[in-house]
Structure 1
Amino acid sequence: MYEKYFGFRERPFQLTPSPNWFYASKLHKRALAYLQYGLSQGEGFIVITGDVGTGKTTIANQLLSQLSQDEIIAKQIVTSKLEPDDLIRMIASSFNLVVTEHTKACYLDAIYNYLKRLHSQHRRALLLVDEAQNLPLASIEELRMLSNFQINGKPLIQSFLLGQNELNAIIQAANMEQFRQRIIASSNLSAFQLEDTKAYIQYRLQQAGGALDLLSDDCYALIQNYSKGIPRKINTVMDRVLLFGYLEECQQINADNVSAVLEEIAQEVANLRPQAEPSTEPRPNTAPKAASLLNELSGIIDNELEQKLKLVKELDALLKRQQQLLSSRDNND
Structure 2
Amino acid sequence: MYLSHFQLEQMPFSLTPNTAFYVELIPHQQAFEVLQTALSAGEGFIKIVGEVGTGKTLLCRKLLHHAQENWRLAYVPDPCLSPTELRWALAAELGLQYSGNIDHQQLQQLLQRHLMLLAARQQQVILVIDEAQALPDETLEALRLLTNLETEQRKLIQVVLFAQPELDQRLQQHRFRQLRQRISFSYQLRAMTAAEVFAYVQARLAIAGNPQLKFSMSAMHLLANASRGIPRLVNLLAHKALMLAYGKGQQSITRGHIRAAAYDTEDVKCRRYYGLIAMVVSLFAVLVVSAWWYWGRLL
* TM-score over 0.5 (shorter chain): yes
| Matches of 1:7 and 1:253, distance apart in 2 | 14
- 1:281 aligned partner: none
Give deviations 1:42-74, integer Å, cap 9, x for gaps. Answer: 122111101111011111211222213x30111
- 2:207 aligned partner: 207
- 1:299 aligned partner: none
- 1:63 aligned partner: 63
Q: 1:264 to 1:54 in 2, by over 3 A?
A: closer
Matches within 5 A, 1:147-186: 147-186=147-186
- Note if contact 1:130-1:162 (Cα within 8 Å) is conserved in structure 2: yes
Unaligned stretches of 5+ residues in structure 1: 271-333
SS in 1 for 2:48: strand
- Note if contact 1:72-1:125 (Cα within 8 Å) is conserved in structure 2: yes
* Identity across the alignment (%): 32
| Matches of 1:110 and 1:240, distance apart in 2 | 51
Matches within 5 A, 1:85-164: 85-100=84-99, 101-164=101-164
Give deviations 1:110-159, integer Å, cap 9, x for gaps. Answer: 32232122122211211111111111232112111111222234211110
Q: How many residues get paired?
A: 267
TM-score in terms of structure 1 length:
0.75
SS in 1 for 2:113: helix
- 2:80 aligned partner: 81
- Note if contact 2:53-2:231 (Cα within 8 Å) is conserved in structure 1: yes
Deviation of 1:182 (Å): 1.6
Greater shift in the superposed pair: 103-112 or 225-234 = 103-112
- 2:287 aligned partner: none
Matches within 5 A, 1:1-333: 1-68=1-68, 70-100=69-99, 101-265=101-265
| Matches of 1:106 and 1:2, distance apart in 2 | 57
Unaligned stretches of 5+ residues in structure 2: 273-299
Q: Which amino acid is the alignment partner of residue 76 of structure 1?
A: Y
Greater shift in the superposed pair: 180-189 or 78-87 = 78-87
| Matches of 2:144 and 2:265, distance apart in 1 | 44
Tell me which structure has the larger Cα radius of gyration: 1
Deviation of 1:212 (Å): 4.3
Deviation of 1:225 (Å): 2.8
Deviation of 1:92 (Å): 2.1
- Note if contact 2:79-2:130 (Cα within 8 Å) is conserved in structure 1: no
| Matches of 2:32 and 2:256, distance apart in 1 | 37
| Matches of 2:179 and 2:251, distance apart in 1 | 55
- Note if contact 2:27-2:192 (Cα within 8 Å) is conserved in structure 1: no
SS in 1 for 2:5: helix
Q: Which amino acid is the alignment partner of residue 23 of structure 1?
A: V
Give deviations 1:222-254, integer Å, cap 9, x for gaps. Answer: 222322211011111111111222221112111
SS in 2 for 1:85: helix
- Note if contact 2:203-2:211 (Cα within 8 Å) is conserved in structure 1: no
| Matches of 1:40 and 1:165, distance apart in 2 | 25
Q: 1:115 to 1:181 in 2, by over 3 A?
A: same
CA RMSD of aligned residues (A): 2.0
Q: Relative contact order: is structure 1 or structure 2 higher (C-alpha 8 Å, sep ≥ 6)?
A: 2
- Note if contact 1:115-1:124 (Cα within 8 Å) is conserved in structure 2: no
